[in-house]
Structure 1
């Protein structure tokens, strides 16, 4: 399980899923907080709008009720008939009928009026009702509502909601009651009182407009916080209105959500009423809970989608890497023939392409090493064959040398001695295939002895190499094939003129340039191009049979062996001009010890 957790697939999966989950939770929290704020703000706005509309509705309704009482109080005929005391019973009946007709006209002016009662100061009662007309409570004078009306000075008195009619003892329906004193407008003296009872439905409907939830409580209070109407049941506990915020002239509507309930309050302009709406904040939780539930479902769905997406993304990244690792294990076991083919992100595609190129290159290098190893073994076998019984040849050459020396043939004996030394050098494989420049030049001197003897002084040879370069390492038999080519193809065809051969060495930064220069016939551009092209051939081909002129074999052989020993930056280059001569330059690296010993440490090499 630990290993699985450490895999890139698991790490990417957990990282992506964690990031997505954290982002979702953070966004969900911010959304939830914002949604709650919006819900509370929205509810507050709705409550403020509702109570403002309700207060305006009450003002319109009370204005209508007030106009009914004013129309009765301002009816001159009504006030005259109420004050007339006729001893004639017939006239009294007619007067009473007229009064009832006037009251009836006011009754039918508004459909919600259920009863109009006029009680004169003399104790006469005139009523107009839908039913039970004339059944008056004989103890009305002792009631609270009567006292309030008698105490008023002509202003409207809003008595409020009653469970049944306060005047008609047989009327058991709930009513809204208001009234005022009647005055004779000519001498402004009290005639009696008007009491109007209305259906409370418009008021309760207006109160319901303030309700935001089923548990909302709405109250209408008058002077001294007396409850005029409410939507509650009789016997419900009333709040402490003195502790509730009170609207003022500057702030006609109050919205307070600082406590555990939302409180809205507004005053009516016509009556000294205050409308309160109290809604527990717990009632808002229904919408909040619905929002929370919706948010939880959305978050869970998004987490599931994030899990699927995290799995897809992690697989998309990890699968190519797994294929790459599987192929690397094959390479580790020695199988270089495979390759990885994926179509993923640009970075992974680049990595896979680099791996494929690396494996292909390694395969090529291994094949080249195999070919080089086989070729080297073949060369070693050939060398071993060439060393068969070398002492017999050495002894034979020594014997010839001493025979010539006894006969006084000094010239020929030097040639035999030089040939013997060259043969010993070229067949000595104890020191592998490399030597020092000093040892190489020593063998070149033996070879030049043979050349000078064969050409009888027609070629002048010279070696100009400082002693500080004699320890530079190079492959065996590097310079001799070049001198052989210079003599055979450059100098011998022009022996009629003075021929010169110079071997020199110069230092160029970290390189030593050994120059073999002749003043022979040189080469034309075509032959020079062919020789230079042969130097660029595959180094391995130097050990393979090839069908080409022998002229370029020696240079190609030397160039290839230097490449193999020191790298592609070193080797042989050639310069020639027809009729003027040829210069072959052997470029070798200068060992660090010789370079520092010579005091060249401050120079900057120009080769990589």
Structure 2
């Protein structure tokens, strides 16, 4: 067991770990390379197939144009036009005239190959030639006739004949040139399927190269390089890039003819597109073996280089007295890591003691600063003087000034607390203190200041550290209302926050506001703890931010500052509705 423990060193674990990583990396790299190169080879084959498809499509369009030209010549022939006009005027043409149409159609038909027949119909679907009484709507579906009407004289390719799968049908609505191109009848052409055979010498008969399949708009095969029993229509109609026909996989490239609406598919065996993959596979295997051997040697050297400095660091950490905040509860099967954990946990114990001392000093320092602010005024002298002012003003009938003196007395009595009083009050107490301050500032600024306090009753009993709201009101007046040319207003708003269990306190002024640069500088100064008050000896925004962090830790997010140049400013914060302090009422503090 002891011998096994000695083998379980960090160096051996790094060596084995790197070896496994090497195997995974080489496997993934080889697989990725094989996959990507295979894709490149396949794409190259697809581009070749795409070129073949473009060429085949061009050939198909040329065949289509021939039929389009031929049918256009028949439809605009003078004799055909004359006899159709006669029919539209209600004069039935004679049998001999129908024979002459038959002769005209035969002459035009001789110019094309693969044309089985030309057929001419009147507007009421009667056939003029060939010489029988078959109607158009009995030869083709009604919706095909509607398509021909909708195209207004353009040639419409309908696909395979419903009555004869060996021919394809195209139809054109004949327009009477001398009758303002009005409807004169229908001309249909039946073409042999062999007319559309697009295969050439570039397509091998053994199926090792491309095979072409031409489908009409309904998905029926017009021309195909496969036997009819293979059922290639379903595979091509699926729209997938790879299709399987008779157990063999093919890459399918599809081109749609704009003239006919038919689909031309070029099918190439997958084996053809992946030629040379075996050579690539062998090259990847050889490269992986060579790379693996080199990686083994480098891993052994690297693991030795890593573990040697760690051993030296472990010896140095045994005498250290600094560390992180929490001890590491985890153990490891590696000897070196366990030694590091032991030294680390030693440092944690000493660091926790240091943190506790620093934390207590911060609390004492914060409370001392607040007490120093409160003790700047001699309470007994101040209260006696204010009381004398009050009675003197009452005797002289100066009720407004007497009210202000009472407000000042209440304000200072609230600020100056005895050493045995707690620092926590309710929001209602803070609002009363802020109201007294606003009354005093209203008298000083006369008609330049208007103010109001908005609070819901549910928020009045929420506990809050003393003197946390008044500095925001003071800041709104000194740096907001006083900095504008005309009258201004201050709104102190207390309401339930959108966060459950929290209360929002916001002070909004209509001062000149701040631009983005000034707002950013203000936030940085507050975070650094610098007081920004330029008038008086107020607690300041920096002290409010620091006290929020001290009393609420991470439960309060600090001051929220919102301002835009020319649109005033808003300062506020959110505090939880519960805290760990105790609140003493006014009666207890006066005893």
TM-score of the superposed pair, with normalisation by structure 2: 0.39
Larger radius of gyration: 1
